[in-house]
């Protein structure tokens, strides 16, 4: 019998009922042959006894348990599983997940559709995608079947459910164990993979629900860990920069529009969140969403390019007030589409606090980006 193409590495720490629910869903909804490696981070005896009783079922053809005698954290636990794995594909799993039918097959299909893709997340509430009110999770998963093979590039993949190609592991190694506990090890790994030439993407036709904050609830200890590890990540890779990039009229043709969108993607790939402000919705009015617009131009949409439609009439003023009123996560840089509008934004810098750069001044934009990413957060 040939070895399965993917090893699933599930990290467990206490929370017996949560783990039981996760494993039941995993066995039920996985239809692609896989080996399951369970890594337990020194759970209580009832959890250990349950995990020792887990047997192969359905498409999961083998189960291996690694029982740690101390809690080695997210990275330490996952690395123990990665070191035991020999499959060409590896999928890291939290123990607080609920799966939908065909999730693994779709992750693998997307990963293998493009040699540049190195890490894949499913669609999930963790990436801002929620079932409509009143719709059951299995039904919602089925509604996404029309999106099979479709993916969106992202600035980082999240470690709750993360498919990794073996060649990524060979190129960049294991998860960092520099961080305490957890938080930001997935971002660190994503950046390392991107620097090695791989892309991080979300497979839109696969859905996994993440029962967030059940394994480690919000509180002072969690906040301290988050702040400490964010500081380490930003010191290592630079902080993420937020760029506002308005346009008040459509480029004259598809080539010009493709050039602008390619520029937005270029900056999104450099640890930037890019917010566009555009009058009248979308330049191609027959298209219903900005992702469809990207694809109509032969581009893969990027999740860190945010689309903000503004009314066509008085568009410069709407963009002006939208930017000025933003208080949470304010912009670091504003790219001005005209000199007059840029001068106006410069006058009000005492409110928005951002550097104003004239569109087309690539040297200044690069300089301000470097300065802003170096600012501690």
Q: In degrees to the nearest 10, what's the CA dihedral of 100, 117, 165, 269? A: -100
Q: Is the dihedral of CA 82, 199, 116, 193 positive or negative?
A: negative
Question: Residue 120: which CATH number?
Answer: 3.90.550.10
Residues 37 and 186 in one domain: yes
The 8-class DSSP code of residue 359 comes to T
Residues 106 and 248 in one domain: no
Q: Taking the complete model, does pTM exceed 0.85, yes or no?
A: yes
Residue at which a domain ends, from 236, 270, 289: 236
Alpha-carbon distance of 369 to 243, in angstroms, equals 9
Residue at which a domain ends, from 207, 236, 265: 236
Instruction: Using alpha carbons, select from 260, 339, 275 the residue that is nearest to residue 305.
Output: 275
Asked whether residue 1 is assigned to any structural domain, the reply reads no
Residues 225 and 246 in one domain: no
Residues 184 and 62 in one domain: yes
Residues 187 and 256 in one domain: no
Alpha-carbon distance of 237 to 58, in angstroms, equals 42
* Domain count along the chain: 2
Q: What is the domain range of residue 21? A: 6-236
Edge-to-edge strands of the sheet including 272-279?
305-310, 272-279, 241-246, 333-336, 355-358
Question: Residue 257: which CATH number?
Answer: 3.40.50.2000
Average pLDDT of adjacent 10-residue blocks, the chain of 377 residues:
88 95 97 97 95 97 96 94 97 97 97 98 94 93 93 97 98 89 88 97 97 67 79 89 91 81 96 89 52 90 92 92 93 97 97 96 97 82
Asked whether residue 155 is assigned to any structural domain, the reply reads yes
Residues 303 and 316 in one domain: yes
Residues 337 and 275 in one domain: yes
What pLDDT does residue 288 have?
A: 47
Residue at which a domain ends, from 215, 236, 257: 236
What pLDDT does residue 286 have?
A: 41
């Amino acid at each position: 019998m040939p070895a399965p193409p993917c090893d699933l590495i599930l990290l467990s720490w206490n929370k017996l009922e949560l783990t039981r629910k996760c494993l039941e869903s995993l066995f039920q909804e996985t239809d692609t042959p896989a080996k399951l490696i369970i890594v337990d981070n020194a759970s209580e005896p009832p959890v250990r006894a349950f995990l020792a009783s887990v047997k192969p079922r359905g498409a999961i053809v083998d189960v291996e348990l690694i029982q740690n005698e101390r809690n080695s954290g997210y990275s330490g636990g996952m690395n123990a599983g990665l070191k035991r794995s020999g499959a060409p594909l590896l999928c890291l799993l939290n123990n607080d997940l609920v799966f939908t039918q065909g999730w693994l097959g779709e992750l693998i299909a997307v990963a293998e559709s493009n040699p540049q893709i190195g890490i894949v997340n499913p669609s999930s509430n963790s990436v801002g995608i929620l079932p409509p009110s009143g719709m059951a999770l299995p039904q919602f998963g089925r509604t996404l079947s029309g999106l099979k093979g479709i993916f969106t590039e992202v600035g980082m993949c999240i470690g709750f459910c993360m498919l990794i190609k073996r060649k990524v592991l060979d190129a960049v190694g294991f998860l960092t164990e520099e961080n305490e506990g957890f938080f930001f090890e997935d971002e660190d790994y994503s950046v390392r993979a991107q620097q090695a030439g791989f892309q991080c993407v979300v497979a839109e036709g696969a859905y996994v629900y993440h029962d967030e904050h059940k394994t480690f609830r919000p509180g002072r200890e969690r906040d301290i860990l988050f702040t400490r590890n964010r500081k380490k990540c930003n010191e290592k890779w630079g902080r993420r920069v937020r760029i506002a990039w308005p346009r008040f009229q459509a480029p004259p043709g598809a080539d010009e529009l493709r050039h602008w969108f390619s520029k937005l993607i270029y900056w999104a790939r450099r640890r930037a969140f890019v917010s566009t402000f555009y009058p009248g919705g979308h330049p191609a009015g027959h298209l219903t969403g900005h992702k469809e617009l990207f694809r109509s131009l032969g581009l893969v949409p990027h999740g860190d390019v945010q689309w903000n439609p503004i009314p066509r009439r008085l568009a410069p003023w709407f963009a002006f007030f939208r930017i000025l009123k933003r208080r949470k996560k304010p912009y670091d840089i504003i790219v001005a589409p005209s000199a007059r509008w840029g001068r106006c934004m410069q006058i009000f810098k005492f409110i928005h606090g951002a550097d104003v750069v004239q569109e087309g001044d690539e040297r200044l934009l690069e300089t301000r980006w470097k300065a802003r990413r170096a600012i501690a957060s």
